[in-house]
Amino acid sequence: MTLPGPVGVLVAIVATAVLLLVVVTAAVMIARARRLDRLHVRTDAAAAGLAAALDRRAAVVRAVAATAGPVAMDDADRRALRAAARAAATTRAAEDGVLDPDREAAENDLTRALAPLDTAALPADLAAELADANARVAVARRVHNDAVRDTRALRGRRMVRWLHLAGTAPVPRYFEIAEPGPDGVHPAAPAVRAAQDAVRVVVVDDDGRVLLFEGVDPARPAESFWFAPGGGVGPGEEPRAAVARTLAEETGLDVEPAQVRGPLWVREVVFEAGGATYAGRELFHVVHVPSGGIDTTGFTEHESRTVRGHRWWTPAELAVTLDVVHPHQLPDLLADPAALEPGGTPLAIH
């Protein structure tokens, strides 16, 4: 049956437009899927390269521990260095483009164990090999994290998410370690703080949302991350009082120490920021507040440079986000309401 005049023309135009839309959409989907596949291949290769660089550094450090004389390192530090190198080398290799999360902690322990080493007292060839191994780790880590950034960015596109173009491939993770300097230690000695020197606050509003800040290291502006508010504990200051103080300074929220619950969790951290390496312990507390605005005018100059903004997250949003969240276990912890109930001993998290 042939439709009459203008109606037939209109139907033909609509059919042609629909067919063209389907063809274009299919072409875009295929192109996105192919690009995503290439990015995953690139990430897998970068992860394997980073794992190889880390393994080589561990092997070199074991040789250093076996060779270093008493001038370069005393016996206790040498034993600690040997144990740290062995622990780093025995973590699982990269699988499907994802490095073992335990490797981050092992590599940070290795960097700390290298701090007492006097590389000038090492044989010249061994010192040069250690410097080369550290330089290769730094390059491999940046290559890996660049690949992870590009892959996560494409996986975050609506079409890729809605049509599940990534299939069952795991979401790649950034590899976050404090990088040693070229001579085996960080150019600035690690600033190791005393235990219980920092607090973090899980701020929950009336709607069950959690407040997080978006942070960035100015040295690596492409690698942003989300984290809970908090800060250092002053000399003689009780942790709950520190929570109330830092919340007022960073968010404008006025809470009493009695409203603070916890600590819920404890986390040992080693991170690099502003060209220095920091190590310490963070105690996580929880505070329930009414829904409302956040005032960040109390930020210090450093906070203003390193915090891009803030956002209230629902547990469901955190469960599916491709953004980097610290601590890494936070989305899983918030999925269980019982995790916000203080227990007898703080849960160790990473």
pLDDT (average), residues 98-124? 80
For the packed helices 124-155 and 5-67, what is the interaxial angle rounded to 10 degrees? Answer: 160
On whether the CB atoms of residues 134 and 180 are closer than 8 A, the answer is yes
Of residues 210 and 32, more confidence is placed in 210
On whether the CB atoms of residues 269 and 285 are closer than 8 A, the answer is no
Sequence-distant (≥ 6) Cβ neighbours of residue 287 within 8 angstroms: 201, 202, 203, 204, 243, 247, 253, 255, 259, 260, 261
Residue 345: the pLDDT is 74
Average pLDDT, the chain: 77
pLDDT tens-digit map of 221-278: 777 888 888 888 878 888 888 888 988 888 888 888 888 887 888 877 765 555 555 6
CA 110 from chain center: how many Å? 19
Q: Cα–Cα distance between 260 and 286 in angstroms, integer?
A: 6
Question: Beta 276-288 vs 191-192: how paired, if at all?
Answer: parallel
Residue 337: the pLDDT is 73
Write down the pTM of the prediction.
0.56
pLDDT for 144 beyond 70? yes
Q: Cα–Cα distance between 226 and 233 in angstroms, integer?
A: 21
Alpha helices in the chain (DSSP H): 5-67, 75-89, 101-114, 124-155, 158-162, 239-251, 301-306, 315-320, 330-334
Q: Tell me, which fold does domain 191-349 have in CATH?
A: Nucleoside Triphosphate Pyrophosphohydrolase (3.90.79)
